[in-house]
C-alpha cells in the first residue's frame, strides 16, 4: 500500500528589517575617524572607536525598539493587561490565595 505524501513548503524567506539593513551599511571606522577629527585629534583611536560603537549601538537599539513596537501594535487586536508593581516584577507574579 502506497501512502500519499504531502510536501509542505515553508517560506524561509524572512523579511529583512530596516534596522538590520542599516547596521550592515554602517562603517564604524569612518564614524571613529569623524569623531577624532571633531575632537581635534586629541582623542585616542581606541576611545574614538569606542564612542563610535556606542553611538551605533544606541541608534540600532532605538530602531529595533521602534520596529518591535510597530509589530506589537499590528499584532494586538484587543486585550487587557495588568500592570505589575515593582515588587511583583522583581520576584515574579504574586501568588493569589
| Residue 28 within any structural domain of the chain | yes
Asked whether residue 10 is assigned to any structural domain, the reply reads no
Grid cell digits, residue 54: 556606542
- Decide if 56 is inside a domain: yes
User: Does residue 37 or residue 68 have the better pLDDT?
Assistant: 37
Phi, psi (degrees; rounded to nearest 5) at 39: -85, 5
Other Cβ atoms less than 10 A from the Cβ of 49: the count is 18
> Has residue 71 got a pLDDT over 90?
no
Count of domains forming the chain: 1
Instruction: Using the structure block, give the residue that is written with the C-alpha cell 493569589.
Output: 96
pTM score: 0.58
Q: Is residue 59 part of a domain?
A: yes
pLDDT of 1-53, one tens digit each?
A: 566 766 666 666 667 788 889 999 999 999 999 999 999 989 999 999 999 99
Residue 57 maps to a domain: yes
Would you say residue 8 lies in a domain? no
25 domain-assigned? yes
Range of the domain at 69: 18-76
Measured CA to CA, the distance from residue 97 to residue 91 in angstroms comes to 17
Q: Which residues contact 91 (CB under 8 A, 6 or more apart)?
A: none
The verdict on residue 95 lying in a domain is no
Amino acid at each position: 500500500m502506497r501512502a500519499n505524501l504531502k510536501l509542505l513548503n515553508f517560506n524561509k524567506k524572512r523579511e529583512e528589517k530596516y534596522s538590520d539593513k542599516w547596521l550592515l551599511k554602517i562603517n564604524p571606522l569612518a564614524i571613529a575617524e569623524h569623531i577624532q577629527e571633531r575632537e581635534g585629534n586629541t582623542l585616542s583611536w581606541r576611545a574614538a572607536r569606542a564612542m563610535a560603537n556606542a553611538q551605533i549601538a544606541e541608534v540600532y537599539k532605538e530602531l529595533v525598539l521602534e520596529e518591535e513596537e510597530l509589530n506589537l501594535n499590528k499584532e494586538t487586536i484587543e486585550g487587557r493587561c495588568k500592570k505589575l508593581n515593582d515588587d511583583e516584577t522583581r520576584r515574579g507574579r504574586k501568588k493569589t490565595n
